[in-house]
Every structure is written in C-alpha cells, then in structure tokens.
C-alpha cells in the first residue's frame, strides 16, 4: 500500500527511550509505549529494516531501557545533547549512510525531540511516520497537541498495529505467525 511505508525504503528510529525519561511519563502509558516499540522492532527484524537509536545526554539521563536495548544489538547508537536528533552531525551521518528515506519514529518526548526531529527530517526530504502508540510526553496535553501539530505539518500519524496489518495484508503467513505474539 503506497500510503504506508515500504520496508525496503524504511528506517526505524528510537528516540531517547531512556530509564529516567520513562519514569517521568504517566505510568499508565509506559506499557503501551513498550508494547508498540517491541512490535516495531520485531517488524524491523522480520522485514530487515535497519534501526538507529539515540540517547539524550546519557551521562545525566542514563542509557536506553534495558528491555529495548537488548533487541537493538548492532544498531547504531547516537548520543545527543540537541533536542532534535537531526541536529546531531553523527545522527545525520548514520541516517544518510543507510540511504533510507521513509522514517519510522518512536520514543519520547513527543512535544520536544520527536516534534523537532520529525519536522527537521521532513524539511530535509524524508517522509516521516510517527507512531502515536509508541510516543508520549509527561503531560497528555503536550502529547496530543504535538500529534495534532505534526499531522497538520504533514507527518503521518499511525499506530504500530496499523503498520503491522498493512504490511501483512493477510493472516496465515509465516510472518503473520511470527508477529502474532506481539499483536496480543
């Protein structure tokens, strides 16, 4: 489906999914974010989609969540101090080296790093898909307002399950059976 990203053109970016940031999120959204991120990581693995992850000043805020980091073995890690990942030269270098122009973006916080990264990457010519179930902010108003603003600016807002079922197209395949546990 042309309205969804194509795996051979896609890149998964996990932004600042760090322990200290997740502790600051409303605790009822943390399981949703983790479930959606795990689904995106499994889709990326099954469809051979590269991943990159960032850590915002890890000396202060710690590293990526252990349960997410374990599935990112071999993926480029970029430390950053800028809110927008795109503003970090090392991040730009990693992204450009992969030659993928359809960006899947998840992480925190929606109204800060996610928003700025999305807009700057879109301005640089990338098509950005943001997963509403795999992002959050400390406050629901910030999360909702950022999603609305990004959508108005042309960023595609979807969910991890919407993507999974669009890529699968049918039940009963090997890939469907491998993704099924992540869709429960």
Task: Look up the domain containing 14 and give its range.
Answer: 7-183
Read off the CATH number of the domain in which 46 is found: 3.40.50.850
Report whether pLDDT(1) > 60.
no
Residue 1 falls inside a structural domain: no
Report whether pLDDT(41) > 80.
yes
Could you report the per-residue pLDDT of 14-30, keeping only the tens digit for each? 999 999 999 999 999 99
Indicate the length of the chain as a whole number.
184
Residue 40 falls inside a structural domain: yes
Residue 83 falls inside a structural domain: yes
Quick one: angle between helices 140-152 and 115-123, nearest 10?
Answer: 10
Residue 2 falls inside a structural domain: no
CA distances 178 to 21, 47, 171, Å, are 30, 12, 11
Of residues 71, 23, 66, 51, the one with CA closest to residue 182 = 71
Does residue 165 have a cis peptide bond before it, meaning omega lies within 30 degrees of 0? no
The whole-model pTM stands at: 0.95
pLDDT of residue 102: 98
* Number of domains forming the structure of the chain: 1
Average the pLDDT over 104-123 and give the result. 97
Give the chain's mean pLDDT: 95
Confidence class for position 73, pLDDT limits 50, 70, 90: confident
Confidence class for position 69, pLDDT limits 50, 70, 90: confident
Using DSSP, state whether 177 is helix, strand or coil. helix
Residue 128 falls inside a structural domain: yes
């Amino acid at each position: 489906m042309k309205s969804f990203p194509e795996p051979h053109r896609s890149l998964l970016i996990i932004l600042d999914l760090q322990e200290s940031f997740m502790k600051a999120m409303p605790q009822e959204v943390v399981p949703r974010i983790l479930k959606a991120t795990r689904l995106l990581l499994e889709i990326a693995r099954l469809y051979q989609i590269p991943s990159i992850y960032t850590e915002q000043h890890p000396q202060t805020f710690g590293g990526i969540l252990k349960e997410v980091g374990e599935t990112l073995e071999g993926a480029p890690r970029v430390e950053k101090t800028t809110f927008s990942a795109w503003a970090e030269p090392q991040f730009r270098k990693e992204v450009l080296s992969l030659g993928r122009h359809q960006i899947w973006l998840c992480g925190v916080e929606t109204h800060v790093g996610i928003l700025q990264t999305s807009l700057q990457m879109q301005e640089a010519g990338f098509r950005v898909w943001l997963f509403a179930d795999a992002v959050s902010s400390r406050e629901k108003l910030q999360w909702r307002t950022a999603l609305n603003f990004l959508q108005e600016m042309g960023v595609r807002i979807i969910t991890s399950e919407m993507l999974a079922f669009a890529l699968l197209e049918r039940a009963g395949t090997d890939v469907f059976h491998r993704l099924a546990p992540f869709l429960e």
